Structure 1
Amino acid sequence: MAKRPTITDLARVSGVSVATVDRVLNNRLPVKEETARRVYEAATEIGYHAAGLIRQRMRQELPEYRLGFLLLRGNDIFYGDFARELELAVSQSQRFRGVATIDFAASLAADEIAAQTRRLAAKSRAVAVVGPDHPTLTATVEALKARNVPVFSLLSDFAAGIREGYVGLDNRKVGRTAAWMIAKAARKPGKV
């Protein structure tokens, strides 16, 4: 049976002293984030038994954020997969400890999406929403911005100039690309 890695082995592989490894493990004194990360990576590499503890200690210092996501059609395979990926990305963030709250729109009506966005924003640091470009939703985004709650439009752009950002395709570029492809691939002129 192979010998279990020791603190000395971990110090040697990570390129730091035994005292530094002890500080990372026991949170005795501050250690640079880069050094703690190097110790964690070495612990994972050699199979050190307390690698999980090191990762947990590194994350203790990070701020905690609750992020809200409002998606469409909860029974849709795409949105179900998208929700799982969002949860995974938030939970694995290296910059913060995050909790993703994911809701699905009860209907596609702009006033219902706006109401759900307000409810989600009441318990979130920031929200990202899939919704229509509609005056009701724009007014909601404006009100949330006044309360310092950032709102991001997801997949479909809305509230341009008011929302914090847009995560999705650049539809103008997509259109230009489609037009270029049709112009190059079409053998003769016709209706599109």
Structure 2
Amino acid sequence: MNRPTISDLANTAGVSLSTVNRLLHGTGAVRADTVDRILDAADKIGFYGLGALRQRKHDNLPRRRFAFLLQQSHRPLYQLWAEALTAAACRRNDAVIEPNVIFEDDLSPEAVSANLLRIGETADAVAVITADHPLVSQAIDDLRGRGVPVVAYVTDLSAASRAGFVGTDNWKRGRTAAWFISQTADGAGKVFPLVGSNRYQCQDIADASFRSYMRENAPSFQISDTLLTHEEPENAYEIVRSLILQEPEIKGIFVNGGGISGVLRAMRELPAERQNKIRIVCSDVGPETRKGLSEGLITASLSHPLDKMPAELIDVMLRLIDRRDTSSIEQRIVPFDILTPESIWT
């Protein structure tokens, strides 16, 4: 049987001979769908150059440089997100993505905005986790003027020039946290919401919906003013330690932001009888949270899915590059994961 020729390949794929030659020799661009047709045809007829064609497909893919500006390099959660984002970028088969993950330990808006402008000089698109602030919005406006789309990740921003948002439904997250505490507590008492910053929209929305659910469905619980941790475990430890000493009727803590390791540290100082009377709901998925769940100290974690959200973010960033001229904002809402002591994988 004669070996299939380039002409046979072109006829089977329904393309011209010159198109196949361009792909084989890398002498010109070929549309992605046409490349797939040629590869399918080559596999079907047993074309000898299938390996070379697959390499040409890879070489023919668009190259993109994506920057991800995260926070607090010392927090295991952000390290997990960095790994998940890098893995999601590498899994794409429709583009060759060069991921650049940057951690910003200085959470001030001045530092974040300066970093945004710096990484925007070389990136095709930028994703950022940050508190909302006019200086951040100004930096996003500047990048939009340069043709660099910026996507808010995890927590949305008010910047009119942001190109997109990828996150969870924070209204539902807050109400779900309230449901867990009100349904699992051994009676009415005091509940204390903690946030990292009043400028994180995701936390502010969840805090409001947490209170909304409690007012509607658990009015016998007394909800305190929201306490601020500044995303620092040591602050969270001091706050919860003081609450435990001063509030004998404490029934629940909603850790709506960073600081879960500090909360757990304070809880571990209590006798088991007191621990069992306090319900904790958090939004983390790191190793300390998993340990707290396995110990039974955490009732539930309503966390951002490490597999789905990075994939959605990469998809949005790729789409935005192809439609830089549009002023519309692309929004992707991903269901949050619900982890409990009985469902957690250790």
* Same fold at TM > 0.5: yes
Deviation at 1:188, TM superposition (A): 3.4
1:143 aligns with 2:123: no
Q: 1:75 corresponds to which letter in structure 2?
A: H
Taking the aligned partners of 1:125 and 1:100, their CA distance within structure 2 comes to 11
**Structure 2 residue aligned with 1:13:** none
Contact conserved, 1:144 with 1:151, CA < 8 A, in 2?
yes
- Write out aligned runs for 1:67-86 (5 A): 67-86=66-85
Identify which range, 125-134 or 137-146, moves more after superposition: 137-146
**Structure 2 residue aligned with 1:175:** 174
1:30-79 CA-to-partner distances (Å, cap 9, x unmatched) read: 987457547868999xxxx9876443311222221111111112233322
Q: 1:86 corresponds to which letter in structure 2?
A: L
1:87 aligns with 2:82: no
Taking the aligned partners of 1:42 and 1:29, their CA distance within structure 2 comes to 20
**Structure 2 residue aligned with 1:162:** 161
Q: 2:177 corresponds to which letter in structure 1?
A: A
**Structure 1 residue aligned with 2:62:** 63
**Structure 2 residue aligned with 1:185:** 184
Taking the aligned partners of 1:29 and 1:148, their CA distance within structure 2 comes to 26
Taking the aligned partners of 2:147 and 2:160, their CA distance within structure 1 comes to 15
Deviation at 1:129, TM superposition (A): 0.9
Contact conserved, 1:141 with 1:159, CA < 8 A, in 2?
no
Contact conserved, 2:144 with 2:150, CA < 8 A, in 1?
yes
Q: 1:43 to 1:186 in 2, by over 3 A?
A: farther
Contact conserved, 2:151 with 2:166, CA < 8 A, in 1?
yes
SS of the residue corresponding to residue 123 of structure 2 reads coil
Contact conserved, 1:40 with 1:54, CA < 8 A, in 2?
yes
Contact conserved, 1:71 with 1:104, CA < 8 A, in 2?
yes
Q: 2:153 corresponds to which letter in structure 1?
A: L
1:119 aligns with 2:128: no
Unaligned runs of 5+ in 2: 5-11, 192-346
SS of the residue corresponding to residue 167 of structure 1 reads strand
Taking the aligned partners of 1:78 and 1:50, their CA distance within structure 2 comes to 45
Deviation beyond 4 Å, 4+ runs, structure 1: 22-44, 49-53
Deviation at 1:180, TM superposition (A): 3.0
Taking the aligned partners of 2:29 and 2:185, their CA distance within structure 1 comes to 65
Taking the aligned partners of 2:151 and 2:78, their CA distance within structure 1 comes to 17
- Write out aligned runs for 1:8-87 (5 A): 33=32, 36-37=35-36, 53-87=52-86
Identify which range, 22-31 or 169-178, moves more after superposition: 22-31
Identify which range, 93-102 or 177-186, moves more after superposition: 177-186
Q: 1:158 to 1:28 in 2, by over 3 A?
A: closer
SS of the residue corresponding to residue 119 of structure 1 reads helix
SS of the residue corresponding to residue 177 of structure 2 reads helix
Q: 1:148 to 1:37 in 2, by over 3 A?
A: same
Size of the alignment, in residue pairs? 183
Taking the aligned partners of 1:98 and 1:61, their CA distance within structure 2 comes to 13
Instruction: Calculate the TM-score normalised by the size of structure 2.
Output: 0.43
Q: 1:32 to 1:134 in 2, by over 3 A?
A: closer
Identify which range, 87-96 or 180-189, moves more after superposition: 180-189
Q: 1:29 to 1:114 in 2, by over 3 A?
A: closer
Identity %: 33
CA RMSD across the alignment: 3.9
Instruction: Calculate the TM-score normalised by the size of structure 1.
Output: 0.71
Q: 2:116 corresponds to which letter in structure 1?
A: T
Q: 1:162 to 1:117 in 2, by over 3 A?
A: same
**Structure 2 residue aligned with 1:133:** 132
Contact conserved, 1:25 with 1:57, CA < 8 A, in 2?
yes
Taking the aligned partners of 2:116 and 2:50, their CA distance within structure 1 comes to 39
